[in-house]
Amino acid sequence: MNIAKDKIDIRSLSLEALTEHFSRVFDGEKSFRAKQVYEWLWKKSCFSFDEMGNISKELRIKLNKNFTINNVKIHNSQYSADKTIKNSFILFDNHLIEGVLIPTPGRMTACVSSQVGCSLTCKFCATGYMERKRNLNPDEIYDQVVLIDRQAKENYGLPLSNIVYMGMGEPLLNYKNVLESVDKITSEDGLNMAAKRITLSTAGIAKMIKKLGDDQVKFNVALSLHAANDEKRNTIMPINEQNSLKALAEALKYYFAKTKNPVTYEYIVFDGFNDTVQDAAELARFCRHLPCKVNIIEYNPISFANFINAGEDKIEIFADYLRNQGITVNIRRSRGRDIDAACGQLAIKEKAVV
């Protein structure tokens, strides 16, 4: 795949910058043409200048000469028995990422990636065993949503209803680009999706959680917790060594004070590790810091690690303890496990064909 190094990535420009470029470089072109092109790029999700119907042939030639659209493409798709679809996406520089369409009754959810690989090395997550290559640009995150939305409509006749930033990478380590992607997805000049339909999941970076509060974000935030005990959490999530539970609790309280948005805690009940009533009691104490709910997530085995999911009886006892403490608990069942599309299983096992 050739990268047009002498051309400007047009989606890296704001409307103002694009308008300025039109007036400075494209002599004789009206400034409103820049807005028309911008709408084609973001509102109509157009990946080719030649498809821009109300743009003259002469201007399309100029656009093709000066700009490129570094759009994401589907490299491969796998279909699960439960109707989940996992996609590997190829980027303009031949890196591969993964994203998933998760259909459930009344809901079509896109799980999107924010980085190529990940640097956090969580012991139970396949992506954590990959090297982080780079951050994704806002348009690369936006494109995943567009492509998965088209996939939902083509396969199930329904548009996306929800987006979760729970794919490859840590969203808060790509803060600026992730928030710009949310802006493009939620803006009237973009996909015009409601921010409350979006959830960002983080392994827990205290200072960036506070920044979410300062920026008064409107989307939902979920903390990938998995242990409410520093010693245990350090074992499976090295990020906890610099972001202790105390620091995270303070950051989350700050975030809630700024946004009034409750938080979701994601908790995998690993057999023999964090599955006791004492573990549930520690989690219940952590939940008292601010309004929240707990999603108990079914663990999906990976070849790199020896963790296994706790049995149904243990999970029910764990969940019942939390409910008896007045905590809202949901038990999330795995989707797409047979194609390695379930939570924690995303890892590139193929190479790009150039």
* Residues with a known catalytic role: 98, 343
Residue 27 burial class via C-beta count within 10 angstroms: exposed 0-12, middle 13-18, buried 19 and up: exposed
Give φ, ψ of 8 to 5 degrees: -85, 135
- Edge-to-edge strand list for the sheet holding 263-268: 73-79, 85-90, 96-104, 107-111, 162-165, 198-202, 220-224, 263-268, 292-297, 328-332
Task: Write the DSSP string, 275-299.
Answer: -SHHHHHHHHHHHTTSSEEEEEE--
Residue 221 · residue 292 · CB < 8 Å = no
Task: Identify each DSSP E strand in the chain by its residue range.
Answer: 8-9, 67-68, 73-79, 85-90, 96-104, 107-111, 115-116, 134-135, 162-165, 198-202, 220-224, 263-268, 292-297, 328-332
Contacts (Cβ under 8 Å, ≥6 apart) of 108? 101, 102, 152, 156, 158, 159, 160, 161, 162
Cα 352 from Cα 354, distance rounded (Å): 6
Cα 54 from Cα 190, distance rounded (Å): 18
Closest of 248, 320, 315, 322 to residue 284, by C-alpha: 322
Q: Of how many residues is the chain composed?
A: 354
